Amino acid sequence: MIPFDYRRAGDAETAVAAVAGNPGAAFLGGGTNLVDHMKLGVAEPDLLVDVTRLPFDSVDPLPGGGLRIGAGVRNSDLAADERVRTRYPVLAEALLSGASGQLRNLATTGGNLLQRTRCGYFQDVTTPCNKRRPGEGCSAREGYHRYHAILGASPHCVAVHPSDLAVALTALDAVVRVRGPRDGHGERAIPAAELHRLPGEHPEWDTVLGHGDLITAVDLPPLPMAARSRYRKVRDRASYAFALVSVAAAVELTGDVIGDVRIALGGVAHKPWRATLAEAALRGRPPDRAEFRAAAEAELADAQPLRDNRFKVPMARNTIVSVLAGLTGEEPR
């Protein structure tokens, strides 16, 4: 770990200015990801601006029925919030399936969204990695890539985004509120589905945020269908493991058919993958396994698995089918 300065921000404006004014500065939330990366030499900030004391630590109702989640709300607290549990169960389930109890007690909402990939090469500074050092090359493409992307990857990067929370927020059409150096006293709103980006030519950029942009909150829309929502995470052990594949979904039945549906996938791409093709295929269709399977296959038709992660394609398909079947009362059987 290299030496760094530490400053505790008194208000958001100062925090943003402090980071924006120094290219080597970073915001410090729970530190559960950044500090690890500092130890590994993956991140070498020379200034940490602690934002955990900013007044972004509550979950508040929004006019119209939504919820505003402060960026500093800890994962454990958010998962335990009664409104979240009853109106957005997918969100609580996603949070509780992530990391461990100790980590969830520290990790913040904003920090969770901004955690970086668990790609082993990204974390090993002795190996080439375009995300860590653009232009070096991607070691994972031909290397150990069982956990890597099957959708939306580029020749430069096959990493996946590790957050469970982000997958649920993407399915829920949540909106991320950001205060940046050019926003003055105002804030911008970025749909959760657009916060993270595909790697393309620039895998070093995980999100559309610029340097000094501070996430202040996440807004959940009033989405009645989210009361019937679920998160499933397939992984190598029963707790404390990253997703091989995860599915966040919400379904609204209108009569005998699917009126509306939201599906997002985790563990398959550089960003939480909103399954718009599957959603389109399902709207107005009857809720049965054949339909679910056809929709999942439509979404995954363009999947380009790597040598050692082909299993993720049928696993994603089966998980989508299983989640939708559960949500529509098709199971157990």
Span 242-261, contacts to other proteins by CB under 8 A: 242, 244
Alpha carbon 206 to its chain's center: 11
Residue selected from 33, 52, 75, 97 as contacting other proteins according to rule CB under 8 A: 97
Q: Does 32 bind other proteins (CB under 8 A)?
A: no
- Contact status: 105 vs other proteins (CB under 8 A): no
| Radius of gyration, alpha carbons of the chain | 19
Of 284, 264, 38, give the one whose Cα is nearest residue 165. Answer: 264
The full length of the chain comes to 333
Distance, in Å, from the CA atom of 246 to the CA atom of 251, rounded to the nearest integer, reads 16
* Least Å from the CB of residue 318 to other proteins: 4
Q: Contact 251/258 with Cβ under 8 angstroms?
A: yes
Which stretch, 79-87, 104-112, 180-188, 312-320, contacts other proteins (CB under 8 A)? 312-320
Q: Does 301 bind other proteins (CB under 8 A)?
A: no
Could you say whether residue 144 binds other proteins (CB under 8 A)?
A: yes
User: What one-character DSSP code corresponds to residue 299?
Assistant: H
Side-chain-facing half-sphere of 111: CA atoms under 13 Å: 25
Closest to 248 in 3D by CA, of 150, 173, 298:
173
Residue 31 engages other proteins in binding (rule: CB under 8 A): no
- Reduced to 3 states, what is the DSSP secondary structure of residue 282? helix
240 touches other proteins by CB under 8 A? yes
CB of 314 to other proteins, least distance (A): 5
Is 318 a residue that touches other proteins (CB under 8 A)? yes
The 8-class DSSP code of residue 210 comes to: P
Q: Is there binding between residue 226 and other proteins (CB under 8 A)?
A: no
Q: Is 233 in the site for other proteins (CB under 8 A)?
A: yes
Q: Which amino acid is at 85?
A: R
Q: In this chain, which stretch among 76-84, 151-159, 171-179, 321-329 interacts with other proteins, using CB under 8 A?
A: 321-329
- Enumerate binding residues for other proteins (CB under 8 A): 1, 93, 96-97, 118, 120, 124, 126, 143-144, 146, 230-242, 244, 310-311, 313-315, 318-319, 321-322, 325-326, 331-333
